[in-house]
Amino acid sequence: MSFLEINQISKSFRGLKAVSATSFEVERGGLVALIGPNGAGKTTCFNMIAGVFAPDSGKIVFEGREIQGQRPDEICAAGIGRTFQIVKPFAGLSVLDNVMVGALLRESHAGEARKRSLRILEKLKLDSKADLPASSLTLPDRKRLEVARALATRPKLLLLDEVMAGLRPTECDQMVEVFRELNREGLTILLIEHVMRAVMALAQRVIVLHHGEIIARGTPAEVVRDPAVLECYLGEETEV
Amino acid sequence: MKREAVGLLVLLLLLVFFPLFASSYALSVVTLILFFAYAGQAWNVMMGFAGQLSLGHSLYVGVGAYVAAILFQTYGVGPWAGVWISMAACAALGAAIGFLAFRFGISGVYFALLTIAFAEFTRIGFDHLTITGGPGGFFLKVSQRESWDLLNLRGPPIMFYYVILALTAGAFALCALLLRSRAGYYWRAIREDEAAAQALGINTFRWKMLAVILSAAMTAVAGVFNAFYYNNLFPEQVFHISRSIEIILGPVIGGVGTLFGPVLGAGVLTTLSDGITELLAYYNLEIPGVKQVFYGVVLLLVVMFLPHGIWPALAKRIGIFR
Amino acid sequence: MPFDLVANVAVAGVLTGLVYGLMALGLSVIFGVVRVVNFAHGEMMTAAMYAAVVLFTAFGLDPFLAVLPVAAVFFALGYALQAAVINPFITRPEHSQFMLLVAISIILVNGLLMGFGPDAKNVQLDYQLESWALGKLLFDKARVYAALLALAVSAALFAFFRFTLTGKAIRACADNHLGALVVGLRVKHLYSLTFGIGAACVAVAGCMLILLVDVTPVLGPSYTLLAFVIVIVGGLGSMGGALLGGVLIGLSEAMAGLFIAPSAKSMFSFALLILVLLFRPQGLLGRRT
């Protein structure tokens, strides 16, 4: 049984075809990157998987069950977590409370939720800031909080939307380490990324989208040499 | 945490023993404060917790009041039974409004306008119904004012004082419990960012409906109290938009979404405004509208300079982070 | 029900509706551009009505002539209000803005109550009692004059926004706040200008309305709600929508008053508001954002 199967999904917005009969798979325990120029349809794909809107046609199958068209909260309950391209912290709540909101999906007692939330914060090196208001965090920390919150819902698959954007190279490397470790522990990750440094370091497989269609797939090394990809996205002088 | 609990206990004790040394006037003032503290707390559940601005809460006070009053006066059903029916009626109304609003994606200003429209519609409607006595009003017979008849809520002002004190304390405790529970976390998350909340597995429609229904049902009880305390109901007064605004003044000034906000706001507002009326009476002046202008000015100043209300600013001063 | 009666009530409703439309136009302009919910709109109109009464009782000034000074004063006050009080609130959350204007509305209504007392006031001019007859139809002179002025002012406003540079600049702010800032428009000044214009509209509408109805301080909130119903039904951001909405509401109010009961007039308006909010939130002529 495949883990996540995207089957011929399409989505148009007022006549503009954002995603066009796209299909791909993510295997359990895998780490797959979705790349491509702006407007290629990457976030649209994510939004369809995460339930923000339904595909016009096609199926999304997760662990053998069709999930296209379900609500975002149902998708999360099914085991798919996501982060947002522009981070959305609960500004008025403390860092710990932010994560607890996620944890309370799986835990009925606030006490248990708190314990697990603290452990997750530790893993993401945010535990020292647990009681600070989320609004006081720097951008890299907000990104970490976003990930921590999603992790608290015990996802089997994590969708990361351009989580490296705006991070300095060292911060990026730190995040890469975190994701590597999570993947080793069994978390499947599908990520959208522009920062090629992260893509090359993390991804086992890369899928390239352009104008709503897949133009290349393969290992990072293969994709980076693909002439179609170089032409539309990476450019001839790319050095990674 | 400890300091808060001790402070609360002291306040509660003060309030419990207050009638023993208070004049009947002071008693009526504090009763009013507690009423607005309770109603404000009920409103706070919808706004402060779930982020939905309702400017039509007089609808629930009115419906709650009329249902219990009619049941008592016309059908002989006592208030302790009638209150449940009031709550059910208002819960249903709240559910209807919530459902319409959330299903059709109405929020923010449009939601506020929707609540106003429902309240106004009901006000004019009740003016034309005979069962409610129409514009002439609905009256409850006052059999006696001496002894405590808790069963029928007939009795001296001091009895009503303790009833509203119990209600307010109960509402406070309920809200405190809710805030610490999953409901509290989920509501605050929805209030901060609904899309992010959904992505964390929260069925925002269900939880928003819960807040609206709970708020409506709680407000209904305020309506029942209103009916039995004042013994007369006029659609023009009970459902008027000024009532809705009075209800929100406490929480907005005290601090929306906080526990102490509604209580503090109601206290500050009522005390100061009564002070003004007293001052004017001293100079033999009686100008209609002065109290409301005062409310307006206080509201203006608070909104401009203390946007989160008095309580958060005060809390920071005395070192409590909430 | 004799046809003449219905027709005459309808005519009166439409004419009054045009005055309502002008009031709603002011709100549409403010809401559409500054994006602030002017909860004090009806109260502003009530104040304008009182201003007309004062000028009439003190100087015998016909409201049509009073329009000029009252509109000018209201423009200035509106500008000042936006510049000094409301502008800092643009970035605040919606309910904060709402509360601010609720506070202002409370102060206005009760200030008027303190100043003028609760009794109804009006103006009395000869032509209020005269009408033209066209067959079986009667056209009240006062109503016709008022409606004509309302139309004229609306047309002038429309021309202002369409053809003048300032008008276009204001529309730019409405469409894209950040973009307007980036191209160097003085957005704060333009916002204040817009609020001033909206206030001036309300002032003119008030001077007209005092010819048709009496004024009491408590009318304020009802007019605010009426303005919102009209703007939402007619369509936010559409000037034609405000006028059309005004006429529709004026007409439906008149008809409801005739067929059901005078006190039930507004019930119909609120029911309409609820329906529009649910099923066609962009209104009749509005654009879906």
* pLDDT tens sequence across B291-316: 788 888 888 888 888 888 888 888 77
**Confidence tier at C289 by pLDDT (50, 70, 90):** very low
Chain B nearest-CA distance from A21, in A, is 25
Give residue A21's pLDDT: 87
Report residue C39's pLDDT band, with 50, 70 and 90 as the boundaries. confident
Q: What number is the ipTM of this complex?
A: 0.90
Average pLDDT over chain B, rounded to whole?
86
Q: Which domain holds residue B79?
A: 21-239
Above 70 in pLDDT, residue A236? no
Which amino acid, one-letter code, is at B123?
R
Summarize pLDDT for A89-109 with one digit per residue, the tens.
999 899 999 999 999 999 888
Q: Is residue C54 part of a domain?
A: yes
- From chain B, pick out residues whose CB is under 8 angstroms from the CB of A149: 196, 200
Q: Neighbouring chains of C at 3+ CB pairs within 8 Å? A: B
Q: Do the Cβ atoms of B198 and A81 come within 8 Å?
A: no
pLDDT for B223 beyond 90: yes
Query: Which amino acid makes up residue B159?
Result: M
Euclidean distance between CA atoms B159 and B33, whole angstroms: 16
Q: Which of C5, C2, C18, C3 is nearest to C212 (CA)?
A: C18
Residue C162 domain flag: yes
Chains A+B touching (3+ CB pairs under 8 Å): yes
Q: Per the domain annotation, does B8 fall within a domain?
A: no
Strand order in the sheet with A213-218: A80-82, A157-161, A188-192, A31-35, A205-210, A213-218
DSSP 8-state class, residue A94: B
Q: Best residue in A52, A71, A73 to probe B by mutation, most B CBs within 10 Å?
A: A73
* Cα angle: C282, vertex C287, C289; to 5 degrees: 85
B313 CA to centre of own chain: 23
Burial class (CB in 10 A: 0-12, 13-18, 19+), C248: buried
The pLDDT of residue A152 is above 90? yes
Radius of gyration, CA atoms only, chain B: 20
Q: What's chain C's average pLDDT?
A: 86
Q: With a cut of 50, say whether residue C250 has pLDDT above it.
A: yes
Other chains touching A, judged by 3 or more CB pairs under 8 Å: B
| CB spacing of C274 vs B245 below 8 angstroms | no
Residue B206 maps to a domain: yes
Which has more pLDDT, C93 or B320? Answer: C93
Q: Answer yes or no: is B90 within a domain.
A: yes
Rounded to whole angstroms, how far apart are CA atoms A145 and A99?
Answer: 7
Residue C236 forms part of a structural domain = yes
Assess A95–B contact: CB distance below 8 Å, yes or no: no
Considering the domain boundaries, does residue C287 fall inside one? no
> Is A105 in the B-facing interface, judged by CB distances under 8 Å?
yes
In a domain, B289, yes or no: no
Answer positive or negative: Cα dihedral of A152, A158, A161, A162. Answer: positive
What mean pLDDT do residues A222-233 have?
A: 85
Per-residue confidence (pLDDT) for residue B185, from 0 to 100: 93
Higher pLDDT, C227 or C179: C227
Query: Is residue C285 one of the residues assigned to a domain?
Result: no
Contact between B201 and A82 using a beta-carbon 8 Å cutoff: no
The average pLDDT across B101-110 equals 80
- Inter-chain CB proximity B290 and C114 less than 8 Å: yes
Tokens of B121: 């519609």
Number of domains in chain C: 1
Least confident of B130-139, B201-210, C153-162: B130-139
Classified as helix, coil or strand, C44 is helix
Nearest C-alpha neighbor of C213 from the set C277, C265, C153: C265
- Give the 3-state secondary structure of residue C217: coil
Q: Is A125 on the interface with B (CB under 8 A)?
A: no
Structural domains counted in chain B: 1
The type of residue at C26 is G
Q: Determine how many CB atoms are found less than 10 A away from the CB of residue B305.
A: 8
Residue B66 located in a structural domain: yes
Tell me which chain A residue has its CA closest to the CA of residue B190: A90
CB contact under 8 A, B198 and A104: no
Choice among A103-107, B207-211, B270-274 with the minimum mean pLDDT: B270-274
Q: Using one digit for the tens of pLDDT, what is the confidence trace for B43-53? A: 988 887 777 88
pLDDT surpassing 90 at residue A1:
no
Higher-pLDDT residue of B312, C82: C82
Three-class DSSP category at B185 = helix
Q: What residue type is C279 in one-letter code?
A: F
A71 pLDDT higher than 90: yes
Residue C289 in domain: no
CB contact (8 A) between residue A93 and residue B195: no
Taking residues A130-140, report their average pLDDT. Answer: 92
| Cβ-defined contact of A73 to B186 (cutoff 8 Å) | no
The answer, yes or no, to whether residue B322 has pLDDT greater than 50, is no
**pLDDT value at residue B93:** 95
- pLDDT for the residue numbered C68: 92
Contact B220, B10 (CB under 8 A): no
Q: Quick: pLDDT tens for A168-209.
A: 899 899 999 999 999 999 999 999 998 888 999 999 999 999
Residue B316 lies in a domain: no
- Nearest Cα residue in chain C from B289: C110
User: Higher model confidence: residue C30 or residue C1?
Assistant: C30
The kind and range of the H/E element at B139 are strand B138-139
pLDDT class for A237, splitting at 50, 70, 90?
Answer: low
Per-residue confidence (pLDDT) for residue A136, from 0 to 100: 93
C267 in any annotated domain: yes
Query: Residue C192 belongs to a domain with what CATH number?
Result: 1.10.3470
- Asked whether residue B7 is domain-assigned, the answer is no
Q: What predicted TM-score, i.e. pTM, was given to this entire model?
A: 0.86
pLDDT of residue B116: 87
Residue C9: give the domain boundaries: 3-279
Query: Using CA atoms, how far apart are residues A222 and B164, in angstroms rounded to an integer?
Result: 74
B296 touches chain C (CB under 8 A): yes
Residue C86 lies in a domain: yes
Q: Which residues contact C50 (CB under 8 A, 6 or more apart)?
A: C112, C115, C116, C121, C215
